[in-house]
């Protein structure tokens, strides 16, 4: 019958039918309502997926600021569930590899054609690249039809593994930057290392050889992720690495920005694939979502509920990443811990930023009776008693947010250096920690909060002239007894011994080395005076505030023969004209030095600081004063500090 019909049809009709059949074949499959598990961008969204015999076509909707630009790399690809890749062929409405400028409307639409995927594909990834800042949209599927993801073997931290986790030994990191040249403008990198358990900042400067190779070592107390920053002005690189005590890590920064990381003699705590494929951009609470939710949700409990829902979605993505990129049980656990802590941090930020921590009528009573606020029930879902958190590069940030959670600080409200008052405050804080964490005993984070406070208080005790070693020993012994984890006790012993040694003299001589040479070149002309050094930057509000508030005081001391000031910042990190204008208005007549990022890194390592403003004091002989000068309201008050330093030195 078909043949009879075709014979009676005009050729034009046959041609039309033929084209229609081709069109049906070409549009045989696709996702009409595409959804995905995670994305590194809010700027582009997938609005359609088409599977044809000749291409897989992704339709995108872009929303951006007018005049800003995006770019889809020529190397972009799709990857299916079987790890097969399909290369990008061309763009329609956008040229691959070239900048696309957002029109005045702030919106645009374009399509990207890839090699054809099988028509029955149910889930795949769009990957522009694995380096930081590249677009990745993972787990793309038809809404409501996401395939089930196999869950691997869970990681369990046994007592034996915990002892292995806290093995103290030297970690070695060595590597290479492909294509490195001195013309890039930097000759070293900085490892912004923090000892999380004690809150100490111990940045390291890592020299880069001319061939792009480097190597550094440090004492590691447990496995840990780290970041190496190499920057000069707007040019820079970031290298993620993972190190273990007693082992060597080899890393390579590829030309495309991706990083290969391998630990020699891998073990149960080795991490490799999770760094190579990156999870931080995907499993976080995206900043744009945080801002939108923060503005729309005016109650902390509502925000916490929202954050926990998003945390659950991000945990699904963590499981997808672990399956997709063959993470070990440890790597999967680490990604899940990061996901929980990152979302919890955002809730803490909301509480601090929005000052909604205590709803009306729910303020803690002014008694020793501790009440856990409903706002903070989200903390029960966070791994506050999991030592695995210490391996995360951002763990110090997480602990900082916890130790400044309002109820914890309030419980410590009468904290002072008197032994009886301190004992009461410590007890209140640890009791509140149990309420907040939901743990039967003080949590890991609660114990770290105490240890970090102890680390700070040791210097405070030793800086008080009437406080003797015997009193410090008594206070230290009592507080050490509150730490249940042996690793924290060992850290407490270390910081105590180092504090006593530090304060055996009120000053110390600069050590030999490149950092001291940099400082001497800047300060030798001030020999014979006390010198207050102000490390500052134009982008730092507290830095500018200190400078502006001290202006009258400094002008009153302009011709003083005993004291002077030096201001050090990084060259090129602020627009030159803006910098000159600020200096002329607020630092006229002062010694303002802009130094290279390389030299600034060395000084940060020398004085163990990561943030600014930071202040150091040199005495007339060029030694560093441990308890140095600080800005005062009046010149007379500042001079009183100088007289105190002279008395300590026996002058």
Q: What is the 3-state secondary structure (H, E, C) of 180-229?
A: CCHHHCCCEEEECCEECCCCEECCEEEECCCCCEEEEEEEECCCEEEEEE
| In a shared domain, residues 231 and 326 | no
Residue 379 and residue 495 share a domain: yes
In a domain, 114, yes or no: yes
Residues 310 and 189 in one domain: no
Q: Are both 486 and 544 inside the same structural domain?
A: no
Q: Establish if 633 belongs to a structural domain.
A: yes
Per-residue b or e along 417-452, where b marks 16 or more CB atoms closer than 10 Å to that residue's CB: eeeeebeebbebbbbbbbbbbebeebbbbbbbbbbb
Domain-embedded: residue 337: yes
**514 and 498: one domain?**
no
**Residue 109's domain is classified under what CATH number?**
2.60.40
Do residue 381 and residue 297 come from a single domain?
yes
DSSP letter string, 526-591? GTTSEEEEEE--TT-HHHHHHHHHTHHHHHHTTT-SSEEEEEEEETTSS-HHHHHHHHHHHSTTSE
Please indicate, yes or no, whether residues 259 and 313 belong to a single structural domain of this protein: no
pLDDT at 364: 45
- Averages of pLDDT over each 10 residues, the chain, 651 residues: 39 44 51 95 95 96 94 95 95 95 95 96 94 90 92 91 96 93 89 93 93 96 93 72 94 83 88 85 90 87 94 95 93 96 94 55 42 78 97 93 86 68 88 92 96 87 63 88 97 92 84 93 94 94 93 93 95 90 94 93 92 94 91 92 85 56
Helix or strand (DSSP H, E) at 34: strand 34-35
463 in a domain, yes or no? yes
Q: Tokens 């076509």 label which residue?
A: 57
State residue 298's pLDDT score: 78
- C-alpha dihedral sign at 387, 237, 69, 291: positive
Q: Are 264 and 270 in contact (CB under 8 A)?
A: no
- Whether residue 276 lies inside any domain: the answer is no
Last residue of a domain, one of 115, 142, 169: 142
Shared domain for 110 and 169, answered yes or no, is no
In-domain check, residue 610: yes
Decide if 294 is inside a domain: yes
**CA gap 251, 135 in Å, rounded:** 23
Q: Are residues 307 and 199 in the same domain?
A: no
The parent domain of residue 342 ranges over 287-502
Q: Is residue 281 part of a domain?
A: no
CA–CA gap between residue 281 and residue 527 (Å, rounded): 49
517 and 496 in a common domain = no
Question: Which residue, of 224, 242, 270, is where some domain finishes?
Answer: 270
CATH of the domain at 529: 3.40.30.10
Q: Which among 482, 479, 632 is positioned nearest to 563, based on CA atoms?
A: 632
Last residue of a domain, one of 444, 468, 502: 502
Based on the fold, state whether residues 479 and 526 are members of the same structural domain: no
Q: What would the two tokens of residue 264 be?
A: 């020699």
Task: Please tell me whether residues 486 and 470 are part of one structural domain.
Answer: yes
Tokens found for residue 127: 């990957």
Please count the structural domains in the chain: 4
How far is the C-alpha of 628 from the C-alpha of 506, rounded, in Å? 9
């Amino acid at each position: 019958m078909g043949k009879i019909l075709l014979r009676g049809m005009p050729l034009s009709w046959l041609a039309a039918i033929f084209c229609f059949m081709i069109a049906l074949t070409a549009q045989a499959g696709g996702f009409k309502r595409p959804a995905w598990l995670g994305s590194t961008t809010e700027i582009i969204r997938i609005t359609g997926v088409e599977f044809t015999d000749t291409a897989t076509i992704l339709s995108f909707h872009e929303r951006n600021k007018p005049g800003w630009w995006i770019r889809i790399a020529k190397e972009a690809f799709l990857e299916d569930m079987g790890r097969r890749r399909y290369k990008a062929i061309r763009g329609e409405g956008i040229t691959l590899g070239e900048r696309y400028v957002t029109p005045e409307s702030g919106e645009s639409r374009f399509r990207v054609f890839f090699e054809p995927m099988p028509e029955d594909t149910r889930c795949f990834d769009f990957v522009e690249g694995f380096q930081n800042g590249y677009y990745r949209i993972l787990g793309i599927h038809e809404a409501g039809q996401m395939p089930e993801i196999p869950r691997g073997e869970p990681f369990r931290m046994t007592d034996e593994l915990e002892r292995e986790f806290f093995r103290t030994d030297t970690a070695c990191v060595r590597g290479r930057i492909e294509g490195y040249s001195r013309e890039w403008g930097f000759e070293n990198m900085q490892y912004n290392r923090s000892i999380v358990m004690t809150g100490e900042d111990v940045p390291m400067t890592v020299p880069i050889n001319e061939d792009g190779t480097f190597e550094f070592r440090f004492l590691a107390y447990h496995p840990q992720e780290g970041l190496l920053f190499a920057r000069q002005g707007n040019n820079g690189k970031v290298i993620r690495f993972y190190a273990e005590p007693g082992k060597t890590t080899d890393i390579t920064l590829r030309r495309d920005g991706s990083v290969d990381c391998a630990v020699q003699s891998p073990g149960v705590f080795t991490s490799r694939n999770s760094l190579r494929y990156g999870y931080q951009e995907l499993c976080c609470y995206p900043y744009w979502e945080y801002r939108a939710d923060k503005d729309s949700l005016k109650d902390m409990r509502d925000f916490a509920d929202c954050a926990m829902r998003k945390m659950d979605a991000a945990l699904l993505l963590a499981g997808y990443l672990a399956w997709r990129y063959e993470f070990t049980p440890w790597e999967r656990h680490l990604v899940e811990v990061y996901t929980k802590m990152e979302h919890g941090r955002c809730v803490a930020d909301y509480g601090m930023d929005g000052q909604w921590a205590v709803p009306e009528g729910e303020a803690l009573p002014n008694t020793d009776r501790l009440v856990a606020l409903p706002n903070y029930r989200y903390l029960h879902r966070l791994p506050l008693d999991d030592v695995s958190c210490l391996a995360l590069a951002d763990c110090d940030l997480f602990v900082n947010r916890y130790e400044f959670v309002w109820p914890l600080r309030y419980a410590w409200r009468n904290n002072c250096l008197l032994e009886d008052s301190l004992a009461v405050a410590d007890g209140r804080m640890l009791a509140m920690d149990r309420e907040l964490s939901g743990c039967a005993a003080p949590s890991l984070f609660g114990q770290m909060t105490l240890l970090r406070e102890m680390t700070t208080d040791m210097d405070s005790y030793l800086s008080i002239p009437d406080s003797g070693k015997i009193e410090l020993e008594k206070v230290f012994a009592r507080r050490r007894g509150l730490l249940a984890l042996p690793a924290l006790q060992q850290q407490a012993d270390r910081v105590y011994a180092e504090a006593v040694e530090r304060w055996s003299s009120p000053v110390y001589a600069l050590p030999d080395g490149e950092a001291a040479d940099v400082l001497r070149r800047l300060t030798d002309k001030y020999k014979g005076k006390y010198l207050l050094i102000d490390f500052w930057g134009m982008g730092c509000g507290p830095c500018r505030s200190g400078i502006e508030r001290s202006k009258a005081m400094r002008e009153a001391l302009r011709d003083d023969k005993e004291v002077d000031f030096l201001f050090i910042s990084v060259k090129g990190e602020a627009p030159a004209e803006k910098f000159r204008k600020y200096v002329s208005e607020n630092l006229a007549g002062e010694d303002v030095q802009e130094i290279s990022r390389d030299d600034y890194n060395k000084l940060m390592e020398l004085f163990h600081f990561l943030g600014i403003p930071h202040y150091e004091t040199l005495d007339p002989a060029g030694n560093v004063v441990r308890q140095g000068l600080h800005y005062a309201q009046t010149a007379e008050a500042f001079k009183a500090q100088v007289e105190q330093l002279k008395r300590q030195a026996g002058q």
